[in-house]
Amino acid sequence: MSRFCHRVGVRLALVTLLAGLLAGCGGRGGSTAERAWDPDSIPDAFARPTAALVWPGLTHAWLVGPEGALENGLWRVRFEPSCGGALAAPPAHVASEDRWLPVIRWTRRSADVRWEFEAVAFPARSDGDSVLAVSLRVRAVNEGGGARRVRLAAVVDSAVATLRFVAADGESPTAAGRRWATSSAADSGCGYTTLAATGPQAAGEWTLAPGGRSEACFVLPATPLPGRDLARVAARSHASRVAQVRAYWTAAIAHGARFELGDAETEAALRAAQVVLLACREHRDGRWLPIGGPFQYRDFWLRDGARVVQALAISGHVEEARQLVDGFAPLQWPEGPYITQRGQLDGTGQALWAFEQASLRPAPSPDVAALARRALAACAWVEGQRDMGRRAGWPLGNLMPYADPRDGEQVLGQLTGDDFWSLAGYRAAARLCGAAGLAADSARLETQRRAYAAEVITALDHQASPDVPGCWRGGGRDWGNLVAAWPAAVLDPGDARCERLARRLWARAGGAGMVCYGPVDTLQSYVGADLGVWAMLADRPLAADSVLDALLRWRNGSGAGAELFSRSSRDFGLNLPPHPTSAAALVALVRNAVLYDDGDTLLLTLAARERWWQGARVSGAPTRWGVLELSFRREGDRAHWTWTSVPVWTRMRVPQGFALAAAPAPPLRGDAGGHFVLAPPRTGAADVRLAADGAMR
């Protein structure tokens, strides 16, 4: 966790509560009926259970680790629950409520005693606070037939300072007060608890009758707070904090597009992905920035940030996506490019793609003209790079220059992904200029894009590789080359090179789904997800479905994916989940499977799953032609769609396993035995008769 560790120069102390254990852990704020659910019932694909306690905009996070400890990069709080001297085992699972809502629970057991942990994160002192706090409740439940003596200890470890537990105002803890303690403002604290404290640990012991229970609570800020502030934070009960967090995230998700697919797993996965995307944002110097993750990747990468922006935009969180686009502004160099990491020349195209994805749905944003001017400068830089190589006269000089990304392709050379992303940037810039009323600039950029794309395809025609290589001169890992058909739209989905590329990667991974990165045993969660969208556009819905299946499978108990992990050991090493680009890939796959608007035709149900056809509805989805409502279903031998009419043609795919039984009635178009129905502009409904498809792919 080296990337999120920071040194502090203050004395850290754990301030304790004078009172003993109160029902609900005391505090004010009322009580809320507790929802019963078992974290051990939530699936987790990985070998080590973890969870992230995060909040949008804040610059720290808490990790719930495999041992059930909490760490924030400054210090670690270990919990030692025991019964009769036997320490409880580590948790088997750490999970979010409904596998998406960040009310985190885990269970540990010692003899007949079940130790239930529940934690939520929130801004400590107010909604606008910059300090993250966690409210944690630990409950001991005696499931045995006799009385049990139990003990709970909490120990604070830190490499940056000597931490100790102290009683409030220097007094010895007693059981008489039964109120939240106060402390002088000069005492900075790293936690607040209902347990008694001695030195570096807080502890309590109780005798539980059969069926009996006791509770202890903690408030743990991610950075030290004055004791009085901690006392005010702790004045609200744990139950009220859970209700606060549950209400916030439920409303945040409801603010976006609504996907009612009749598929509880996919719907929960979408919500979990949106939680990750919304949470992996920091507010710095008045701007919102996307980060690569709450732990080891806590920094701004253009390639990850662009994916976060796009996924937020297409899932209905347009305002948040546009705020992040504003955060890209300081990253533009005076010469025009966007670069966050040395040697990663794909960043310029990724930034422009993000601008266009967020700024043109459901209508052009107010700053589209400013973004268009930024895009013009960026494309001029790309043209300048290519022109220098062209004038030098060396082979492939008309393409992007040599670079060493030290990531992704892992090779020094001319990378195909740099050209594909640059072309995606040209396409985005032309669209931005068109929306801004800069018609001449838009037309010029489109002419340049077509000429550049022709040169790229000519270079591919002369490659020894039968598909699409990662580096123009060979070598390198597959990375940027996977965007050739989508989102870069350089190759047509029907280009045989795209299919050969997918087949090569999926064969190495053992079938359509995730792809390997480096060793065969190492799976990469998101880099191959673009092949899923390519499969939809190439009318290979089963392959697309397999990619979605893989993303749904490889998630932890909070519904979050890791970036890299071992297929055999199921371990992610230091690549802790959640990873926002993995979340973005899942959002893009589901959304594009039912509603794709990245071209000049609205495409519906390209890869809708069978269960979705029992009756699905998408509401509030921003598209290039406004906010769209869509419903679709299959009833026997008929398929039916209704959608908000748009000023362009709409193309619909019939359910997998079926074909059109006959040409549909005008104004609809389609061929008997075909898979697609065309509806002219301003149409809002379609109904067709189906027949079994003997040539199902």
**pLDDT tens digits for range 620-655:** 999 999 999 999 999 999 999 999 999 999 999 999
Q: How confident is the model at residue 28 (pLDDT cuts 50, 70, 90)?
A: low
Is residue 315 situated within a structural domain? Answer: no
Q: How far apart are CA 175 and CA 195, in angstroms?
A: 10
Within this chain, do residues 222 and 280 fall inside the same structural domain, yes or no?
A: no
Mean pLDDT is lowest, of 30-39, 253-262, 306-315, 607-616, for 30-39
Instruction: Indicate if the pLDDT at residue 5 is higher than 60.
Output: no
Confidence of residue 34 (pLDDT cuts 50, 70, 90): confident
- 484 with 496, same domain: the answer is no
Same domain assignment for residues 110 and 20:
yes
Assess whether 278 and 236 both reside in one domain. Answer: no
Domain stop point among 491, 507, 533: 491
**Backbone phi, then psi, for 678, in 5-degree steps?**
-110, 135
Domain containing residue 681: CATH number? 2.60.40
Same domain, 624 and 577: no
How many domains does the chain fold into?
A: 4
Q: Are residues 280 and 243 in the same domain?
A: no
pLDDT average, residue stretch 550-561: 98
pLDDT of residue 27: 59
Residue with the larger pLDDT of the pair 552 and 511: 552
In a shared domain, residues 571 and 607: no
pLDDT range class, residue 182, cuts 50, 70, 90: very low
Instruction: Please indicate, yes or no, whether residues 84 and 123 belong to a single structural domain of this protein.
Output: yes
Give a yes or no: residue 360 inside a domain: yes
In a domain, 613, yes or no: yes
Q: What is the pLDDT of residues 383-439, one digit of tens each?
A: 999 999 999 988 899 999 999 888 899 999 999 999 999 999 999 999 999 999 999
Residue 571 located in a structural domain? yes
Q: Is the distance from CB of 348 to CB of 330 less than 8 angstroms?
A: no
Q: Which of 471, 491, 511 is the last residue of a domain?
A: 491
Parent domain of 649: 603-692
The answer to whether residue 556 scores a pLDDT higher than 90 is: yes
Q: Kindly give, in sequence order, each residue whose CB lies less than 8 Å from that of residue 423, ignoring residues fewer than 6 positions away.
A: 349, 449, 452, 453, 456, 488, 489, 490
Read off the pLDDT of each residue in 514-539 and give the average, rounded to a whole number: 96
Question: Residue 479 to residues 380, 427, 566: CA-CA distances in angstroms?
Answer: 25, 21, 18
pLDDT digits (tens, 9 = 90+) for 81-121: 999 999 999 999 999 999 999 999 999 999 899 999 999 99
Beta strands at 191-193 and 13-16: parallel, antiparallel or unpaired: parallel
> Tell me, what's the pLDDT at 156?
87
- pLDDT of the residue at 444: 98
Percent of the chain with pLDDT over 70: 90
In a domain, 309, yes or no: no
Q: Both 528 and 575 in a single domain?
A: yes
Same domain flag for 469 and 498: no
Q: Residue 32: its pLDDT value, please?
A: 52
Distance CA 678, CA 655 (A): 15
Distance spanning both ends of the chain, measured CA to CA: 45
Whether residue 75 is contained in a domain is answered as yes
- Percent of all residues in the chain with a pLDDT value above 90, rounded to a whole number: 80
| Chain mean position to CA 262 | 22
Q: Are residues 576 and 617 in the same domain?
A: no
52 and 165 co-located in one domain: yes
Give the angle 169-171-176 at the CA atoms, nearest 5°: 115
Average pLDDT over residues 508-531: 94
If pLDDT is split at 50, 70 and 90, which confidence band does 289 have? very high
Which domain CATH number covers 217?
Answer: 2.70.98
Residue 159: predicted pLDDT:
57
Domain end call among 250, 285, 308? 250
The whole-chain average pLDDT of the chain stands at 90
Give pLDDT, residue 75.
Answer: 87
Does 589 map to a domain?
A: no
254 class by beta-carbon count within 10 Å (0-12 exposed, 13-18 middle, 19+ buried)? exposed
Q: What is the distance, to the nearest Å, from the Cα of residue 604 to the centroid of all Cα atoms in its chain?
A: 24
Residue 92 lies in a domain: yes
Question: Using 50, 70 and 90 to split pLDDT, how confident is the model at 181?
Answer: very low
Which strand ranges, in their side-by-side order, compose the sheet holding 515-516? 515-516, 522-524, 564-566
Mean pLDDT of 328-352: 94
